Amino acid sequence: GKGHPPVSPLGKGHPPVSPLGKGHPPVSPLGKGGIKGGYNGNGYEYTIEINPATITPEKIEILGKWGVNRISIGIQSLNDSFLSLLGRAHTAGQAEKTIDIIRENFNSFSVDLICAIPGQNRNDWEKTLNRVLSFSPPHISAYELTPERGTPLWYELESGGLRMPDEESILEMYEITSRKLTGEGYRHYEISNYSMPGYESLHNINYWRRGEYIGLGPSAHSLIGGKRFGNVSDILKYCEMLQDNETPVESVFSPSPEDVIRETILLGLRTAEGIGLAGMPGIVRENTGGRIDEDAFIVKLDKHLQGGLVKIDNKRLHLTEKGFLLSNSVIVEVMRAMRL
């Protein structure tokens, strides 16, 4: 209804059903018709991330009843050895059954995968991709593993007990992903995300465009009115503040004009739509005191233009498929070209 954001992601770590008990919606419902509902036709996206180890037909019924119209399935891999290494509670068999159940009940869903797992090679990765493609999911997210400090996997890597795949192998996995998925009709609309036309993740697109969003829960972050807010991380303190009718925010950051430009470039160049060049040099000049015009900017990017890493069309700068592969270094060069 009026006043509700069009995007309502609960994100990682949130329970797929209400903690309030049986009969309560997970959040205030924005509409009905989640199960086999008309995705995008009703003007909002309501995504829930589910765990294959804990999802049940009963929970799926609850999700649909309360207006959920998109499911993100944390598959990660269809190889039991790699799932165990990642500390996942589900098996490959459970994951495949979950995909089957979800696609029977929801028009829109995403399969989330992780590559560059210790011990994984291109053949392992390609087997998982082929198996996932056999289910025809409308959206696939494929992320490179980033071991989190302090986890058992991180300690294994630090001690030398495990080794990450080398850079050449990781590049091969990325190239296989891009070639295979685009060849099947998926649109590579963001570095790690592929979708069939019309099934892009609306809440992720909102983030990449620096749209406003509200983060709920401990450690959640929000962007509202041009300011970034961070909630307290301690769950007990978070609950106590809510019970005392206090806003559980512990940090507020007001981005400078330079920060806004950096964020626009950093986020926008992750996507296929890229960033608009019209007015960008002027904005940079006005807010940073630098002197640069569009022609000079293009000259500075000539190396990447000639190398096929970036392209400019209709006054927009995009990374190419090759550029996506080397996105971090290319984005740094773009910022340098803009004197940021």
Question: Do 100 and 122 reside in the same domain of the chain?
Answer: yes
- Band (339; pLDDT cuts 50, 70, 90): low
Q: Which segment of 158-172, 187-201, 219-233 scores lowest on mean pLDDT? A: 158-172
pLDDT in tens, 48-82: 999 999 999 899 989 988 899 999 999 999 999 99
- Structural domain ending residue among the three candidates 253, 285, 311: 253
Domain of residue 247 covers: 212-253
Residue 129 confidence (pLDDT): 97
Question: Do 77 and 126 reside in the same domain of the chain?
Answer: yes
Question: Do 216 and 310 reside in the same domain of the chain?
Answer: no
pTM for the whole structure: 0.81
- Structural domain ending residue among the three candidates 190, 207, 224: 207
Question: Do 89 and 185 reside in the same domain of the chain?
Answer: yes
Q: Which segment of 37-51, 71-85, 102-116 scores lowest on mean pLDDT? A: 37-51
- Residue 170 belongs to some domain of the structure: yes
Question: Do 298 and 249 reside in the same domain of the chain?
Answer: no
Question: Do 111 and 179 reside in the same domain of the chain?
Answer: yes
pLDDT in tens, 14-27: 433 333 333 433 43
Contact 301, 274 (CB under 8 A): no
CATH assignment at residue 109: 3.30.750.200
Residue 225 confidence (pLDDT): 93
Task: Compute the chain's Rg from CA coordinates.
Answer: 22
Query: What proportion of the chain, given as a percentage, has pLDDT over 70?
Result: 79
- Band (329; pLDDT cuts 50, 70, 90): confident
Span 179-206, mean pLDDT? 95
Distance in angstroms (rounded) separating the CA atoms of residues 9 and 244:
26
pLDDT in tens, 253-308: 999 887 888 888 889 999 999 988 765 655 555 544 554 455 666 666 777 777 78
- Residue 20 belongs to some domain of the structure: no
Residue 232 confidence (pLDDT): 96
- Residue 217 belongs to some domain of the structure: yes
Question: Do 106 and 121 reside in the same domain of the chain?
Answer: yes
Question: Do 194 and 69 reside in the same domain of the chain?
Answer: yes
Strands of the 275-276 sheet, one edge to the other: 275-276, 316-319, 310-313
Distance in angstroms (rounded) separating the CA atoms of residues 132 and 103:
12
Question: Do 237 and 178 reside in the same domain of the chain?
Answer: no
Residue 334 confidence (pLDDT): 76
Distance in angstroms (rounded) separating the CA atoms of residues 271 and 140:
15
Question: Do 82 and 199 reside in the same domain of the chain?
Answer: yes
- Residue 11 belongs to some domain of the structure: no
- Residue 21 belongs to some domain of the structure: no
- Number of domains, the chain: 3
Distance in angstroms (rounded) separating the CA atoms of residues 76 and 83:
7
Distance in angstroms (rounded) separating the CA atoms of residues 217 and 212:
17
Question: Do 245 and 147 reside in the same domain of the chain?
Answer: no
